[in-house]
Chains A and B, each alone.
Chain A
Amino acid sequence: MTNKKKVKSRNLGYFKDLAIILTQKEMKVRYKNSFLGYLWSVLNPLAFAFVFFVAFQVVMKIHMKDYVLFLIAGLFPWQNFTNSINASPMVFLMNSTLIKKVNFPRHILALTLVLHDSVHFVLSIPVILFFMFVYHRVPSLSLVWGVPALLSVQILMTYGIALFLASLNLFFRDLERLTTILTTALFYFTPVIYSETMVPDKYRVLLKLNPFAMLMISWRNLFLNGSINPVYAGAALGYGILFFCLGYFFYSKLAWKFAEVL
């Protein structure tokens, strides 16, 4: 029995070491040749915030107080999500030599991708806080537990979707393009640049069917009001568990074929 336990803890240690080293690799490889590495991950959502601000508040005169802050509080988490999703179809393809040679838990590659983007997101939270300061808002203490909680839900959800896309893309190599189209569409169907209250009543029920809406609304409320709606967050968690199970199930059905089709 103890022997079995030993093997298990050894595997867990291996898993941990592997996840950390691969995440570090990802960080180094992606930003090795640019000083602006960290800045890029912040600059992108900021640039979009500026664009939407000009388009909707300056030009289309939308009525909302502190619209820039509103945008930033939604765009940063959204960016974290789509970065992982858009990159996920390629994650097994890019590591083909590894998959063909080494028998290791391949799903860790997808996890690495998600963790990497999450680290960037966490590092960019001070920028959100800075803008709150600019708009004379005081960050709530509930961020201390709220951020880890929502981030866990987001990682779970993203990890599941990433596993699904990465596995399937080995068999259908044009999935990558489809993914980009879908995430762009999702962006406009999710209350990131508008608030959920602006959605007409008869469509509002549809928001409940959108897993990302639940999560993104929770993020924004956390930053702007320091509160989390337990129904929304709970729904997001439910969707997260569902996606993770589906993604993992799909991956585990296909994993043994990976080395053949690469």
Chain B
Amino acid sequence: MSRNPLIVFEGVSKSYTLHYHFTGGIKNFLFHLPSYIRKARSSSYCALKDVSFEIRRGETFGIIGKNGAGKSTILGIIAGVLKPTRGKVAVGGRISPLLELGAGFSFELTGRENILLNGIILGLTRKKVLDRMDEIIEFSGLGEFVDQPIRTYSSGMLSKLAFSVVTSLDPEILLIDEILAVGDLNFQQKCLEKMMSFKKSGVTIVFVSHSMKQVEQICDRAMWLENHVVRAIGDPGTITGEYSSYWKDR
């Protein structure tokens, strides 16, 4: 089973120090120094407790759980944006960034300019983005809107633009956070197809979703997070079934 795991989490815990008292500013900090230090030591929030799992090369791995269970924290740690407090994490591949609507988009720029900006931020060279520009615009289906500033876009159009940029990447690991929840049915279908073709070409996908149907459809395995700990890992059909009935019984 553990042949060639691409992502390994071993007893990973993540707690955040609550910084709200710091962000009050230097003035407050200096005037209330002792109580600040006390608070900073005692207050922390635990987002993940002793989480262990492995994701194999070429696998599509779904993560489900209610809001605040720690799903996005896991993606953040895989992406290297967050650092685990305890435990070991090994990631062995080129990672696409966490995909979420419009991360890094600049609202004053046009769709076309944002494609270039986003593509480079996501790790492509300038030349590559320009070469694939037509393809990306074609996929987005935005037509002539692509030359409008994106502050005029609807949220559906934004997600189309965001996902279209992703399609032009060639990552080894794709992290997807709820991106398929928006956009019209037609486009959702297109995204699913694109993900399937990524999957076929051997890309490892980590997929966070609230749509049990999508998880069942796409994933090879799924993990259920509950209250910051792993509740179950296994066949997506079984897991999503348990998850749904768990919430029905409540």
Contacts and interface: CB of A to CB of B under 8 A. Distances in A.
A98 B103 contact: yes
B82 A174 contact: no
A103 B25 contact: no
B72 to A, nearest CB: 9
A98 B19 contact: no
Interface in B82-126: 82-83, 95, 97-100, 102-106, 108-109, 113, 116-117, 120-123, 125-126
A259 B109 contact: no
A22 B106 CA distance: 10
A211 B120 CA distance: 36
Interface string A13-31: 1100110111001001100
Given A13-B125, A14-B125, A103 B83 contact: no
A21 B103 contact: no
A177 B157 CA distance: 38
B130 to A, nearest CB: 11
Contacts, number: 95
B93 to A, nearest CB: 13
Q: In the complex, which range does the number of interface residues on chain B fall in? A: 35 or more
Contact of A101 (B19, B81, B116): B81
Contacts of B76: 100, 259
Given A98-B103, A102-B79, A103-B80, A260 B120 contact: no
Contact of A18 (B16, B27, B82, B121): B121
A40 to B, nearest CB: 16
Nearest to A175: B26
Interface string A94-126: 010111111110000000000000000000000
B25 A172 contact: yes
Contact of B19 (A95, A102, A171, A256): A171
B53 interface: no
B29 interface: yes
A173 interface: yes
Interface string A181-222: 000000000000000000000000000000000000000000
B120 A18 contact: yes
Given A101-B104, A104-B121, A17 B126 contact: yes
A166 B22 CA distance: 15
Range of interface residues on A (Cβ < 8 Å): 20 to 34
| Most chain B CB atoms below 10 A, which of A97, A101, A173 | A101
Given A21-B126, A174-B26, A102 B117 contact: no
B23 A259 contact: no
Given A13-B125, A14-B125, A173-B25, A102 B81 contact: yes
Given A21-B117, A102-B97, A102-B122, A97 B102 contact: yes
A59 interface: no
Residue among A17, A98, A104 having the largest count of chain B Cβ atoms under 10 Å: A17
A103 B97 contact: yes
B26 to A, nearest CB: 4
Nearest to B99: A101
Nearest to A19: B120
A25 B81 contact: no
B82 A259 contact: yes
Contacts of B98: 100-102
A200 B104 CA distance: 52
A28 B109 CA distance: 7
A103 B113 CA distance: 21
Contacts of B116: 21
Across the A-B interface, give the 7 residue pairs with the lowest CB-CB distance, nearest first: A174-B25, A102-B97, A101-B103, A103-B80, A98-B104, A101-B98, A259-B81
25 contacts: A17-B125, A17-B126, A18-B120, A18-B121, A21-B121, A25-B117, A28-B109, A29-B108, A95-B104, A98-B103, A98-B104, A101-B79, A101-B81, A101-B100, A101-B103, A101-B104, A102-B81, A174-B26, A175-B25, A175-B26, A259-B76, A259-B81, A259-B82, A260-B16, A261-B22
Given A100-B81, A103-B79, A260-B82, 12 more contacts: A17-B120, A20-B126, A32-B109, A101-B79, A101-B100, A103-B95, A172-B23, A173-B25, A175-B26, A260-B17, A260-B19, A261-B22
